[in-house]
Amino acid sequence: MADFCNNRIQKFDDNGKFLMTWGSLGSNNGQFYNPTGMTVAFPQGNVYVADTGNSRIQEFANDDKFINKWPINTPTGAIDNIAIDVNSKEIIYLADRAADQVLVISP
């Protein structure tokens, strides 16, 4: 779960039991500024986070290890992501409310 106000990610099991948290306020790898969404890619289980305040997507292994990041650029310059998804080919789909568009990011 992307925890917008606390600039972190929280992980729960299928029964809702808290497992772990990672991240803090900042712009370094593994840090966030108002993350608005996240998704888990299957079958590998990597976590993709829409790090809105830092205008980027961050990718992590499911044990919180940083893997990669991609900048998010829109025509308006504003970023207001409300949804993120990734397919089996690791193509990222990002719904951007500010620009009224879906962005497609391929690794």
Instruction: Characterize 1-12 residue by residue with b for buried, 16 or more Cβ atoms within 10 angstroms of its Cβ, and e for exposed.
Output: ebeeeebbbebe
Which are the contacts of 37, defined by CB distance < 8 A and separation ≥ 6? 2, 49, 50, 81, 82, 83, 84
**Which pLDDT does position 77 carry in this prediction?**
60
Cβ–Cβ < 8 Å for 38, 10:
no
Class of domain 2-105: mainly beta
Where does the pLDDT of residue 15 fall: very low under 50, low under 70, confident under 90, or very high at 90 and above?
very high
Domain ranges in the chain?
2-105
What pLDDT does residue 16 have?
Answer: 93
Q: What is the pTM of this model?
A: 0.86
Question: pLDDT per residue over 22-42, tens digit each?
Answer: 999 999 999 999 898 889 988
64-to-10, 29, 81, 86 alpha-carbon distances in Å: 10, 11, 22, 18
